[in-house]
Amino acid sequence: MPLVVAYWRTNLTMRRLAPLFGVSKSAADRVIDDIGPRLALHPRQRFAKDAVLIVDGTLVPTRDHKVAEQSKNYRCSTNHQVVIDADTRLVVAVGRPLPGDRNDCLAWAESGAKATVGNTMTIADGGYPGTGLVMPHRRRKGEDLPDWKRPTTSPTSRSARVGHAFARMKAWKILRDCRLRGDGVRHAMHGVARLHDLALTG
């Protein structure tokens, strides 16, 4: 496990990482392939009736072009839908990675994140129109929003919490430039999500 955690944290090449643990490059590869999936976050199966969740998408640059596409950051990336609990700020679900050119509105359903949360109240930003998610009202040009439509402490400030979660997760360098192939980016994302939660809960 320490080797996998060190790899995700530093994103060192196998040539540099393996000697730190006294193993060969091939052995280090096998450890990552074997242990990585076991560290994956298990999505929460049930939510309290008054639970409020927040969803947003994040892009992970990925070297494997079979699972990635050029995205708005002009890099080959994968789109990951991440759902957190608004109160605890813990990650409760991570959708299946999709090509980075897929917009959040489509990725929400296609990644499986929507099915995971079911009918639980979920907040999102303005990038999820027509999804049934709770979004802040948008002011059109030249329009004044009535008081009841103006964002105060609901969707906009709460949705910043998922941004903070992304910042903590992206401290793991594997999510800045993932060299893993196939399911590697999914295992890394789910594993980092679980370690993120463990760090918050102590």
Q: How far apart are CA 129 and CA 42, in angstroms?
A: 28
Specify whether the CB–CB gap between 90 and 200 falls below 8 A: yes
Count CA within 13 A, CB hemisphere, residue 120: 25
Same domain, 34 and 97: no
Same domain, 183 and 103: yes
Its pTM stands at 0.85
Same domain, 67 and 131: yes
Q: How far apart are CA 167 and CA 178, in angstroms?
A: 16
Could you say which residues of the chain have pLDDT below 70? 137-159
Report the pLDDT value the prediction gives residue 135, as an integer from 0 to 100: 79
Report the pLDDT value the prediction gives residue 14, as an integer from 0 to 100: 94
Same domain, 47 and 35: no
Same domain, 155 and 74: yes
Same domain, 85 and 1: no
Same domain, 47 and 7: no
Report the pLDDT value the prediction gives residue 161, as an integer from 0 to 100: 83
Report the pLDDT value the prediction gives residue 138, as an integer from 0 to 100: 58
Q: How far apart are CA 45 and CA 187, in angstroms?
A: 19
* Overall number of domains in the chain: 2
Same domain, 9 and 50: no
Report the pLDDT value the prediction gives residue 71, as an integer from 0 to 100: 84
**∠ CA 44-56-127 to the nearest 5 degrees?**
140
Give the domain CATH number at 134: 3.30.420
Burial class (CB in 10 A: 0-12, 13-18, 19+), 128: buried
Q: How far apart are CA 104 and CA 109, in angstroms?
A: 9
Q: How far apart are CA 183 and CA 33, in angstroms?
A: 10
Residue range of the domain that includes 22: 1-39
Report the pLDDT value the prediction gives residue 165, as an integer from 0 to 100: 92
Same domain, 34 and 117: no
